[in-house]
């Protein structure tokens, strides 16, 4: 009875922890076990082969261990027999691991060959550049430049050319594309085709997965998969020049933006349309997030970001600028030290109107 009570107390302690771990794994926006493209489906197929082989080996070893423990347990009058060498057994336990490795190796090679093959001719080309600590996306065939939000079309291959401006980054969209490094001075490539049924309003999450400095964990991006009509509508809006602000506060913000922000940022169709150090903000009001995916895009968060970005994203203090490199590395300064709170709100209002 004492033993039962002791085990009952242990189970009461362990059960909540086990359930917490279990339920935490049930809904993960960066899951790899719900693939939504040809590339991730192929990778998941290899994972499943490895998983079931591992389970087979685990169960077989556990059953064999249990059988040996029972079959050769100590008994009165029984003497242990020492066995020195068993050729057939040694051959068997050599062949089995080799066979298991080959079963994993062949599909792995096939997936590597398929996913690194030449992209289809009708692929949408995207040039993705990793910077500390945000992503720039260019569509050279469309003339579109945006930041931290990648838009693609369901059923159409996407050829992503990967670059880095400063240090090594890594590009990963768990449900759509496997991890590939972004290396300064070198072009890497990946391509994938989102499933026909992968279009949805909710974004797929992407992340830099190579440690790249103080705000590595804050270097995220969103991927939106549209149907053909939805993608064309997005592209048409992106190609248009910035909208004129309609509010008095927004109009003041537009003037202040040219004076204070045009040194680093572009808003096409305005006097602030030259610089390209920072993200293109022509249609920032239409984006879901700011600061590389770590803040919802709204007036309050824009005010916080403009006021003191280093408070939100460590490491982007201006003293960390590297001006003598090509291209220069420049971080956003804290405008709360330079302009009034009212002027910051005006700039934030202007940015919210850039739909």
pLDDT tens string 263-294: 889 899 888 777 777 899 999 999 999 999 99
Q: Is the pTM of this model over 0.85?
A: no
H/E stretch holding 44: helix 38-71
Whether the per-residue pLDDT at 161 is higher than 50: the answer is yes
Interatomic CA distance for residues 310 and 215, integer angstroms: 10
Give the domains, in start order, of the chain with CATH numbers: 124-227 (2.60.40.420), 248-352 (2.60.40.420)
Interatomic CA distance for residues 308 and 312, integer angstroms: 7
Interatomic CA distance for residues 283 and 145, integer angstroms: 10
**Confidence band of 333 (pLDDT split at 50, 70, 90):** confident
> β-strands 220-226, 177-182: how paired?
unpaired
Task: State residue 19's pLDDT score.
Answer: 65
Task: State residue 1's pLDDT score.
Answer: 44
Interatomic CA distance for residues 80 and 78, integer angstroms: 7
The string of pLDDT tens digits covering residues 66-118 is 998 888 888 887 777 777 878 888 898 899 999 999 999 999 999 999 988 99
The string of pLDDT tens digits covering residues 59-71 is 999 999 999 888 8
Interatomic CA distance for residues 34 and 125, integer angstroms: 25
Closest CA to 150 of 125, 167, 133, 169: 125
Half-sphere exposure of 185 (CA within 13 A, CB side): 3
CA dihedral 139, 39, 295, 230 (to 10 degrees): 50
Task: State residue 82's pLDDT score.
Answer: 77
The mean pLDDT value for 312-322 works out to: 73
The string of pLDDT tens digits covering residues 167-187 is 999 999 999 998 999 999 999
The string of pLDDT tens digits covering residues 191-234 is 999 999 999 999 999 999 999 988 999 999 999 999 999 999 99
Interatomic CA distance for residues 219 and 128, integer angstroms: 13
């Amino acid at each position: 009875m004492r033993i039962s009570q002791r085990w009952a107390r242990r189970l009461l302690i362990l059960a909540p922890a086990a359930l917490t771990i279990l339920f935490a794994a049930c809904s993960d926006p960066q899951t790899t076990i719900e693939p939504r493209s040809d590339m991730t489906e192929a990778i998941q197929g290899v994972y499943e082969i490895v998983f079931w082989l591992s389970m087979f080996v685990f169960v077989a070893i556990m059953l064999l261990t249990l059988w040996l423990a029972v079959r050769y347990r100590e008994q009165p009058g029984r003497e242990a027999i020492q066995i020195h060498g068993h050729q057939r057994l040694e051959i068997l336990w050599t062949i089995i691991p080799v066979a298991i490795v080959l079963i994993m190796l062949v599909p792995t090679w096939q997936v590597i060959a398929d996913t690194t093959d030449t992209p289809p001719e009708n692929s949408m080309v995207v040039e993705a550049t990793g910077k500390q600590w945000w992503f720039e996306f260019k569509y050279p065939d469309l003339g579109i430049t945006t930041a931290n939000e990648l838009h693609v079309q369901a059923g159409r291959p996407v050829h992503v050319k990967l670059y880095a401006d400063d240090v090594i980054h890594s590009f990963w969209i768990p449900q759509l594309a496997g991890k590939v490094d972004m290396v300064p001075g070198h072009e890497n490539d990946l391509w994938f085709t989102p499933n026909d049924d992968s279009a949805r309003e909710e974004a797929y999450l992407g992340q830099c997965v190579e440690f790249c400095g103080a705000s590595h964990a804050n270097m995220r991006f969103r991927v939106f998969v549209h149907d053909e009509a939805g993608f064309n509508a997005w592209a048409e809006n992106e190609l248009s020049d910035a909208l004129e602000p309609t509010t008095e506060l927004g109009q003041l913000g537009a003037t202040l933006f040219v004076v204070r922000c045009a040194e680093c940022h572009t808003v096409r169709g305005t006097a602030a349309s030259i610089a390209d150090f920072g993200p293109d903000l022509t249609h920032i009001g239409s984006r879901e997030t700011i600061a590389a995916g770590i803040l919802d895009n709204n007036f309050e968060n824009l005010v916080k970001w403009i006021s003191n970005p280093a408070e939100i994203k460590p490491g982007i203090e201006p003293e960390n600028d590297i001006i003598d490199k090509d291209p220069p590395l420049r971080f956003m300064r804290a405008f709360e030290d330079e302009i009034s709170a009212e002027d910051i709100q005006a700039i934030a209002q202007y940015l919210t109107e850039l739909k």
